[in-house]
Amino acid sequence: MIKSKPRRLHPLAIRIMHWINAVAMIVMIMSGWGIYDDYVIIHGLHFSSSLRLGSWAAPSLLWHFAGMWLLACNGLAYLVYGLVTGRLRERMLPIQGRALVQTVRETLHFKIQHDDLTVYNAVQKLLYIVVILAGISQVVTGLLIWKPIQFSSALALLGGFQAVRIEHFIGMCVIVGFLIVHVALSLLVPQTLWAMLSGGPRLQPRGGSP
């Protein structure tokens, strides 16, 4: 683990990667809806043209391919940074069952406490881990349906082309669901939004006294 000088809650690298990820994810979602609309999975479910990036499937695909490199490279950089510095483990683990139930209960009673910005609550930790896993799954399933010949064995393992297409669609639903809750919460607790823009409070150096 790398020992570091006093640091911000969200170091500059994390802020840059977070906002690049937000842009890339939105490009991926809106262009994905453009591609989907050409060959729907749920009959009767269409996305309005104002929600689609690209006027029809071909330009939407070009947007999707452009966004995919940004998403995959930026996501990889975020994971490597988080693992090498120990930040991912420090911020997202451990998740205790009792704390999870308690936070869900409080949230259902609209008691959203976020006095200490430096600690993610159990629900936040779980949501962040789920969305990181969903992001990885989107890159993998996207690769499989993009190159079905090269990855035919992996495709078969996951149930075939159409099954993987549905898995890719479900991953999108998870990410969109996360995004709705995530953006709503960051607007309800705007100091978290400001911290993700400015860096937030200074933390003790890793390995220093708490």
Give the x-and-dash track for 128-147 against ligand HEM (CB under 6 A): x--xx--x------------
Among 66, 104, 117, 143, binds ligand HEM (CB under 6 A): 117
Measured from the CB of residue 135, what is the shortest distance to ligand HEM in angstroms?
Answer: 6
Residue 123's Cβ-count burial label (10 Å; 0-12, 13-18, 19+) is buried
Residue 27 sits in the site that holds ligand HEM (CB under 6 A): no
Question: Residues 28, 71: contact at Cβ < 8 Å?
Answer: yes
CA 94 to chain centre: 19
Q: Least separation, in Å, of the C-beta of 182 and ligand HEM?
A: 5
- Say how far apart CA 10 and CA 118 lie, in whole Å: 9
User: For residues 38 and 56, what is the distance between their CA atoms, to the nearest angstrom?
Assistant: 8
The reply on whether position 195 binds ligand HEM by CB under 6 A is yes
Q: CB under 6 A: which stretch of 42-50, 64-72, 126-134, 164-172 binds ligand HEM?
A: 126-134
Q: In terms of Cα–Cα distance, which of 171, 82, 182, 84 is closest to 128?
A: 182
Residue 172 engages ligand HEM in binding (rule: CB under 6 A): no
With beta carbons less than 8 A apart as the criterion, state whether 158 and 141 touch. yes
**Under the criterion CB under 6 A, does residue 182 sit at the interface with ligand HEM?**
yes
Q: In the complex with ligand HEM, which residue's Cβ is closer, 155 or 172?
A: 172
How many residues of this chain interact with ligand HEM, rule: CB under 6 A?
20
